[in-house]
Amino acid sequence: MNIVKNIKNLLNFLYLFYNNFMNKFFGHLHTINKHRRLVRKHCFKCGLYFQGLTHDLSKYSPVEFFNGVKYYQGFRSPTMLERETIGYSKAWLHHKGRNKHHFEYWRDIDLVTKKYVPIAMPDKYVIEMFCDRIAASKVYLKDKYTNRSPLDYFLNKDKETELHIDTRKKILFLLNMLNEKGEKETFKYIKSHYKNKTLFNDLN
Ligand SMILES: [Zn+2]
């Protein structure tokens, strides 16, 4: 009888473990797909087709994906729980080292000071970062999202963000335009001016 009970308990445990894993597996997969769909839509409107299609593809790599599943909660990024649990996020280290739309990618050693410093981001990645921030704000804020939300998020984090001065000016220019003129006009402006290489001509 004891053996039967033990087997029953084991099966029950395996079933719950499997169920929990599957929920987290598909929950995380859905989050990635939804985010990529939104960024793709924004990037296409800016004329960045290749980047729209390939945005965040490394999130499907084993180190990013399975750490995402392991620490999945559904209401915030799994990297937060991963950091709280082991002190750092393996998924984020892998992600930021490969994705050029993150300003964290653009750091290198200054030959004079021998210290790591921010490098200016090429314009096409500033635009992709802009699209990424809009998508992230939309998913996070849901019906509370407005054209001002990505700007507010940037300004809130500004003090702790180590951006190259040119990158800071450029992303602020786009975020302010979004706030003042809305998505349609901003995406249109980006598409035509990026093509003509005049996107940031008004900046000094
Ligand atoms: Zn990313």
What's the gap in Å between 101 CA and the centre of ligand 1? 7
What's the gap in Å between 93 CA and the centre of ligand 1? 11
What's the gap in Å between 34 CA and the centre of ligand 1? 13
Nearest to 55 by CA among 75, 25, 33: 33
Q: What is the mean pLDDT of residues 184-202?
A: 94
202 pLDDT band, cuts 50/70/90, is: confident
Q: Is 54 exposed, middle or buried (0-12, 13-18, 19+ CB in 10 A)?
A: middle
Residue 183: how many other CB atoms lie within 10 Å: 12
3 pLDDT band, cuts 50/70/90, is: confident
What's the gap in Å between 2 CA and the centre of ligand 1? 52
Nearest to 137 by CA among 39, 68, 60: 39
What's the gap in Å between 157 CA and the centre of ligand 1? 17
pLDDT, residue 93, reads 97
SS3 136: helix
In the chain, pLDDT over 70 holds for what percent of residues? 99
What's the gap in Å between 111 CA and the centre of ligand 1? 28
Q: Which residue has the higher pLDDT, 75 or 127?
A: 127
What's the gap in Å between 56 CA and the centre of ligand 1? 5
Name residue 118's beta-bridge partners.
107
Domain boundaries, the chain: 2-56+99-195
pLDDT, residue 203, reads 82
What's the gap in Å between 55 CA and the centre of ligand 1? 7
Residue 108: which H helix or E strand, with range?
strand 107-109
pLDDT tens for 105-120 read 999 999 999 999 999 9
What's the gap in Å between 6 CA and the centre of ligand 1? 46
Token pair listed for 77: 């990024």
pLDDT, residue 204, reads 66
Nearest to 139 by CA among 150, 127, 128: 150
What's the gap in Å between 12 CA and the centre of ligand 1? 38
Residue 118: which H helix or E strand, with range?
strand 116-118
Identify whether the C-beta of residue 84 lies closer than 8 Å to the C-beta of residue 133.
no
Hey, what amino acid is at 203?
L
The answer on pLDDT for 143 being more than 80 is yes
147 pLDDT band, cuts 50/70/90, is: very high
Identify whether the C-beta of residue 171 lies closer than 8 Å to the C-beta of residue 178.
no
Give the strand pairing for 107-109 and 116-118.
antiparallel
pLDDT, residue 1, reads 64
What's the gap in Å between 121 CA and the centre of ligand 1? 15
Q: What is the mean pLDDT of residues 10-34?
A: 92
What's the gap in Å between 113 CA and the centre of ligand 1? 29
140 pLDDT band, cuts 50/70/90, is: confident
The answer on pLDDT for 159 being more than 90 is no
The answer on pLDDT for 4 being more than 90 is no
